[in-house]
Structure 1
Amino acid sequence: MVLGPGGCGVSVVATAGAAERPRAPRDSRQSVTRPARHTLLVTLDRNSPTASWAGVYRQPGEVVAVSQYLHLLTLDRLDLSEQTWAAFVDVLSESVRRSKVALPGVGTIAGVDAAELTALPGIEDFLLLRRIRDEATSGQWQRIVVDCSGVGDPFAFLRAAAVLSQALNRFWPRHRRLAAAAERPAMAALTAAVDAIDRDCADLSELITDASAVAVHLVVGADDRGCRLVAPMLADIDVMGLPLTSVVVNEAGGPGSQDVVAQLNDLVAERSESAGVVVGVRAVGRAPDTIDRLARLRKLGVTLAAPHGVPQGSAAAMVESVGGAGVQATYRMSWPQGLPDPDGLVLGRSGDDLLVSVSGFRHPIRLPSMLRRCTVVDAEWDGVRLAISFVPDPAVWPKR
């Protein structure tokens, strides 16, 4: 996944990295078992220039062949929303038809036509992620490059599945869904549909933090804005547990960019040491010619490193007992976490999720089953790791 603040060259880096020709296998016999389709480039921006660079027509939702090794998939959030809403309305309508008891609000919702939708807040991002997940698990591709430009805040986009799952289980908890299906068989189809969405949310949240399958590449500009934004973005990456693999510095900023690259290199090196994994910093120079086709993008020499397999941030959280037993015990959950503004750290609790806010960015972290029966009592940060202390809640803690 290639992401970064708007205007820093995310699309250029993603497309150039995807256009890199694959290396020939050492053993020619491997080519027999390799998929015919090698790289899929996914763009989420409806105004993306990628199709123009590739010299193909833009066909939202359809995979388009660009070359022997590269294919392009342009995703349209409105089209995905309409298709999914139409299928969901069919389930609602069937529930209304089969129910002998009026279901409050369901009939009204079922009456909303897909063509009337302009947006489904938060749902579109989940649908985009789910389509990307489906392509990743299809077995057709050796590599998928996701250009996360055009989605506003890329971190808000990537946390969409976690936030949607939290909302579903807050407004209609799973035990109530199961009870409703048991009491009213007509609700079974609707309950199954909501459960399927919840499972997809959990699957997506697990996938984007899987360091063995996903590599995140952060693109920043070699200017004052890049220096200012990189620290809070690294903090967001930590709290989400994203497997950061490299930082790509766009040197198109002109004179003085080398000094900025050196500063960013020091910052990322410090963060890499605390995270226990080496994150490469690579500079991409200004293109000698106007970027209007893939041949010129390849000249930038962008290489997107493969996943390194080391969990980072909250995905590498450790839980340990620090004293006591039973309801008198104290547990500590900790992970490597950057905090550019320690005073801006805010912790909250919503059901089974720990809500962590870092520099104005809030992310729900699903707690291990043991800590779900505990309450938060303290938190401390030593400059490298964030440690949160829990004590058992006597009302729900198992009695021996």
Structure 2
Amino acid sequence: MRVLLFTGKGGVGKTTLAAATGACLARRGRKTLVVSTDPAHSLADAVGSPLGDEPSEVGSFLYGAQIDARTLVDDTWETLRHELTTALSGLGLDALDAEELTVLPGVDELLSLGQVRRLADEGPWENIVVDCGPTAETLRLLALPEAVAGYLRRLPAWRSVTRVARSVDRFAAHVESLRALLTDHETTTVRLVLTPERVVAAETRRTLTALALRGIAVDGVVVNRLMPSPGWWRGAAASWLRTRRAQQEQVIEELRDGGLTGRTLRTVEHRAVEPVGMEALLEIADELYGKASPLVGDVGAAPLLETVEAESGVYLRIVLPLAKDSTVRLARVDDDLAVTVDGFRRLVALPESLRPYTLTGAESDARGLLVHLESPL
């Protein structure tokens, strides 16, 4: 089974492209589920059919669902949270402190991802296409399994209460399964959607870096709403189209030069009419994929860390797509290297052989960061 996650800046058309991809896979006889975790819930509008929490058939081999995160929070997390609050209060914590400790930011997004995992495990789908929320929410969503695992380890004394310990252990195992799903490059990949504008392209480059830091594979980029070429037409309208198209193509070239090496880039032209329903979605799919499989993309994922030995010392390469104007900060935190790029931070465990070494500097090159480590005397 394959899982494709579509995300992008709000308003770039990711829902339409996710639905078109699902429709294309279904037309080729592959049982496919398109599911939305976007609170905006526009997937039903795109497919032209009402959708609920559980999958319903919207076409031959094609099913759809829209996850209601608020209901999941009410039904799932509140029960565990109440158990934790009660137990921690019984262990001597002030009731207010216990309440504060069991507040988990982003739990609605985490449970939405868990619902996707449940549907993947229980359903007959060959493929799942996920219409994620806008980029910022998606990055938070994809970072949560790792963050929550650390959060659960910090809960004090909960293991002394058997019932709560079992609940937390189940939740921790669930979180770990989500992290494993997201970082399994054979199963799960992200496809970024953008419009050919510099501001949107800059966010896409930052997203590529943030996902690489998390070990999550991006297999391709889709540039949506490319202005049609006016060809040999003349007149004011044709001149405007020609100018706008040239600007868009320049943005695409800059994007290729800014970290997309080795990843598939597809384009879709702007439509005069909003694409709604199966016929319109399949028309987009034909332009997007042609005869190729929608599942084919270039992960472009190398190991995050590579050790490089040179005459001048030992280097640790952190393989990341970096924009020319990226802001990078590095710090040593015990046996980890804290890597922050454009505000996105991750603790990267150093290889055991390099833990005695001292961080002395770093530089960027075409493949990412080259960190200089000095051997202890």
Question: TM-score band, normalised by the shorter chain?
Answer: 0.7 to 0.9
CA separation of 1:21/1:195 partners in 2, compared to 1, >3 Å: closer, same or farther?
closer
Cα shift at 1:128? 1.6
- Letter of the aligned partner of 1:200 in structure 2? H
TM-score, normalising length: structure 2:
0.77
Q: Does 1:267 align with 2:255?
A: yes
Matched residues in 2 for 1:85 and 1:6: separation? 28
Of residues 289, 296, 306 in structure 1, which corresponds to 2:295?
A: 306
Give % identity.
23
How big is each residue's C-alpha offset from its partner over 1:127-178, in whole Å with a ceiling of 9 and x where there is no partner? Answer: 1222222323346211111111357432222112222223333x34xxx76x
Structure with the larger strand share: 2
Q: Which string of whole-angstrom CA distances, capped at 9 and with x for unpartnered residues, describes residues 168-205 of structure 1? A: 33x34xxx76xx63xx3xx2332343334334333323
Aligned to 1:241: 215
Equivalent of 1:72 in 64, 69, 87: 64
Letter of the 1:271 counterpart: G
- Aligned pairs for 1:1-400 within 5 A: 1-22=5-26, 24=28, 38-59=31-52, 61-89=53-81, 91-92=83-84, 95=87, 102-105=90-93, 120-138=104-122, 140-150=124-134, 152-169=136-153, 171-172=154-155, 181=159, 184=160, 187-251=161-225, 255=241, 256-265=244-253, 267-268=255-256, 271-273=259-261, 278-301=262-285, 302-303=288-289, 305-306=294-295, 308=297, 310=299, 312=301, 315-319=303-307, 332-342=316-326, 344-348=327-331, 354-368=337-351, 376-389=359-372
Aligned mates of 2:68, 2:192 — CA distance in 1: 23
Query: Partner letter of residue 195 of structure 1?
Result: D
Structure 2 alignment gaps of length 5 or more: 229-240
Letter in 2 for 1:74: Q
| Aligned amino acid, residue 71 of structure 2 | D
| Residue-by-residue CA offset, 1:358-392 (whole Å, 9 max, x unaligned) | 11222344555666676644332224221334578
Cα offset, 1:74, TM superposition: 0.9
Note closer, same or farther for the CA distance 1:139–1:321 as it changes in structure 2 (3 Å cut): farther
Aligned pair in 2 of structure 1 residues 337, 371: CA closer, same or farther (>3 Å)?
A: farther
In structure 2, the CA distance between the partners of 1:224 and 1:335, relative to structure 1 (3 Å rule), is closer
TM-score, normalization: structure 1?
Answer: 0.73
Question: Which consecutive unaligned segments of at least 5 residues does structure 1 have?
Answer: 26-33, 395-400
The worse-fitting range, judged by mean Cα deviation, of 230-239 and 126-135 is 230-239
What's the offset of the Cα at 1:93?
7.8
Task: Give SS of 1:104's match.
Answer: coil
Count of residue correspondences: 353
Distance 1:156 1:44 in 2: 13
For 1:379 and 1:239, the matched residues in 2 are separated by 17
Change (3 A) 1:228 1:330: closer
- CA RMSD between the two structures: 3.7
